[in-house]
Amino acid sequence: MTFTTVCLLGWMLSYGALRYAASYPFSQELSELWPAIVYGPWLASCLSVLRAAAHGHRVTHSWVTVILFACFSMGLSIAAVPRTLPDMLVVGLPTLSSVVSLHQLVRRLASSRNEKLSGSHRAARKALR
């Protein structure tokens, strides 16, 4: 729930900046699609990371994609706003906080999965005694 909320807030805050950044070099139609071009692979990779965490798998390539497109999002958003610290934080921080939230959620999933596995191992050992 927290991850979804942070992602939605980040999207709402950075959508306009990404669209504005794309409006100068691209046509109106492409500038409207630009946020989807940046956030599409990012979202797919986030879901891949979550699925892998739920099943106990490692997905380094998905994490690389998440971080790469988060950097694209932050860089393009920051480039589209005035060069003041508050403006740069407002458009850059949501993306960073969503990646940190995803990392914490994955750690929590891995932790709960490890607790379940260690509990089932203890139960199996007791049954063998």
Q: How far apart are CA 14 and CA 8, in angstroms?
A: 10
Q: How far apart are CA 37 and CA 122, in angstroms?
A: 48
Handedness of CA 51, 75, 87, 23 (dihedral sign): negative
Q: Amino acid letter at 20?
A: Y
> pLDDT tens digit string along 49-75?
988 888 888 889 999 999 999 998 888
List the chain residues with pLDDT less than 70.
Answer: 1-4, 6-11, 13-15, 17-19, 21-27, 30-31, 117-129
Contact (CB, 8 A) for 52 and 129? no
